[in-house]
Structure 1
Amino acid sequence: MSQNTFTLADLKRILLEGSGAPEGGGLDGDILDTEFSDIGYDSLALLETTSRIEREYGIELDEDVIGDATTPRAFLDAVTGHLAVPAA
């Protein structure tokens, strides 16, 4: 399924579907600029999240997305940037 938008609610849903409840502070409140590690998600959880996003949105994310996107805001920006690129 190819979609044009990716929101914080979408990210939260996919994080929960793939990794369950976090070990840390959770996904409630203003988490946009909070490090994933501070809310309980490690690199393995983000790898699973990336895989789910690629399948659901029909995009391919660069491997650097996982390493560089350390906050939900950075992750949203990276995914949105890929959604905005027209298909060749």
Structure 2
Amino acid sequence: MSTQAFGIDDLKRILLEAAGADEGVDLDGDILDTEFLALGYESLALLETGGRIEREYGITLDDDALTDAATPRALLDVVNAQLTASASV
């Protein structure tokens, strides 16, 4: 289990590993508040991304929380909240 914060670079890496990237989508731009649908990631891609995050960081993420996180910033908040909760147990 990682004790580091989960950052945007971690998310970009895992998104690319899990689902690749649509042509014309620049993940290197300011994407924090861009909806995942606009970035080309639908719910199935987010569930795969969530599974990879769970395995790599040793946490459990609620499927509803994953699909409700409409932007990278929202997903970062969900993951970091779970990391914090896991660290305090």
- Which TM-score applies when normalising by structure 2? 0.89
Measured in 2, the distance between the counterparts of 1:8 and 1:37 equals 17
Count residues in correspondence.
88
CA RMSD in angstroms, aligned pairs only = 1.5
Identity %: 62
Measured in 2, the distance between the counterparts of 1:70 and 1:15 equals 14
Structure 2 portions without partners, runs of 5+: none
Contact 1:24-1:40 at 8 Å conserved across structures: no
Where has structure 1 moved over 6 Å in runs of 4 or more?
Answer: none
Structure 1 portions without partners, runs of 5+: none
Measured in 1, the distance between the counterparts of 2:3 and 2:47 equals 20
CA deviations on 1:9-56 (whole Å, 9 max, x unpaired) are 000000001111235523121110000000111111101100000000
CA deviations on 1:37-87 (whole Å, 9 max, x unpaired) are 001111111011000000000000112122210100000000000011135
